[in-house]
Amino acid sequence: MNPIKVGICGLGTVGGGTLNVLRDNVEVISARAQASLQVVHVGARRDNPDCDLANIRVSRDIFEVAHDPEVEILVELIGGTSVARELVEAAIVSGKHVVTANKALIAVHGNEIFALAEKHGVEVRYEAAIAGGIPIVKALREGLAGNRIEWLAGIINGTGNFILTEMRDKGREFSDVLAEAQALGYAEADPTFDVEGIDAAHKLVILASLAFGIPLKFDAVYTEGITELTTQDVGYALELGYIIKHLGIAKQHAEGVELRVHPTLIPDHLLLSDVDGVKNAVLVEGSAVGPTLYYGAGAGAQPTASAVVADLVDLARNFGVEQSNRVPALGIAQSSLRDLPIIPMANIETPWYLRMEVADKPGVLSRVASIFSEQGISIEALIQKAPAEGQTLVSLIVLTNKAPQGSVDTAVGGIEALDAISGKVTRIRVEALDG
């Protein structure tokens, strides 16, 4: 059994986990890969005390791994986009296959990287870039290859899901839970990518490209975070039979594709509504198979390493296989991708949850209803809460039927201009996730 020589760049949580999984599960991995995967070179700024680096060359300059003629597969686990892109492209030009867990790199520069890999006859694998140990890339690229993917919706950021779960179950405030998430290591010191939806947008654009056969279009993703959500809205959603989740949603229509990340009310009976804590899940609707749900650990050393090693096994199986017989990075050859238009958010129709603080006096309700009617928006349910003792404002909660965002924007502008309305109107989209 000839060994396949592997170089790992980055020896942090995922890099260390990958090295240890390769060693701990060597027999089963070798049997499945039909080859021995041997780590011969590690590039890292510092050693990882949890890793045994005996008989492995260690370099502080990661580019030494990319240029090492002994290395046949380079594993990029350093993160970021600038240096990581240089590293990956150097490895590709040197004729090495690449495995990465870097969702930002693929989302932002994947089109160029995949084209370069195709030119040099090597492969780039990235299962670990999305949803940790959940094999969603392989499912979309291979398992559902016989389907036209209609839509997908995913909880694809564990930090945001942990925060919303705590707000729902314990009535805690966003800032309080965020601080705990940082203390537990779920959120970074700068949590912007997680709580503003950027991390989820990186993952969504890759999923959409796999699902619909389109180029990666990260700049086209509508992104909205969870920082403005309140326990008040989480509680009202529960009263109405909904759970608030931060979702990445992609849908394919005759006129184009929807790409959006935002808080969403979903019915509380859905399996997706039961995905709590730091877990991830992706719901996919295929034309032949119907709905399928993929659930599991969305991050962590072992789950993510599991996905990295799975890609290494796939590459090992492909050694000696002609490029034309390999599965393309996005499931379709670069030349066959369809550049479908992205539908503007103003044209996307969903039901809406709206909450406003209104003066407790006659005529307000009818004026609000009239503004909705003027924009062609029908109301499905309306709840007016009793005023708290000594208060002159009450919460008015409105559930609408489907309406385009453009019409809702106009209606909300008119409502917020009323003297009887205090502050801004809270708006959250609603999804039944049934098509």
Q: How many helices and strands (H and E) does the chain possess?
A: 14, 18
Strands 3-9 and 352-359, how do they pair?
unpaired
Least Cα distance to 319 among 142, 97, 89 occurs for 97
| 255 close to 343: Cβ distance less than 8 angstroms | yes
Backbone angles phi, psi at 408, to 5 degrees: -65, -40
Sheet holding 36-43, edge to edge: 57-59, 36-43, 3-9, 73-76, 97-100, 124-125
What is the distance between the alpha carbons of residues 156 and 221, in angstroms, rounded to a whole number? 15
Catalytic residue among 96, 103, 203, 245: 203
| 2 close to 38: Cβ distance less than 8 angstroms | no
Q: Could you give the residue ranges of the DSSP H alpha helices within 125-218?
A: 136-138, 158-170, 174-184, 192-195, 198-212
296: Cβ contacts below 8 Å, ≥ 6 apart = 131, 132, 133, 134, 279, 280, 281, 303
Active-site residue 245, yes or no?
Answer: no
Residue 54's Cβ-count burial label (10 Å; 0-12, 13-18, 19+) is exposed
> On the CB side of 394, how many CA atoms lie within 13 Å of its CA?
16
Grouping H, G, I as helix, E, B as strand and the rest as coil, residue 254 is coil
Token output for 97: 């296959």
- 235-254 as b/e, with b when 16 or more CB fall inside 10 Å? ebbeebebbbbbbbbbbbee
Q: Which residues are catalytic?
A: 203
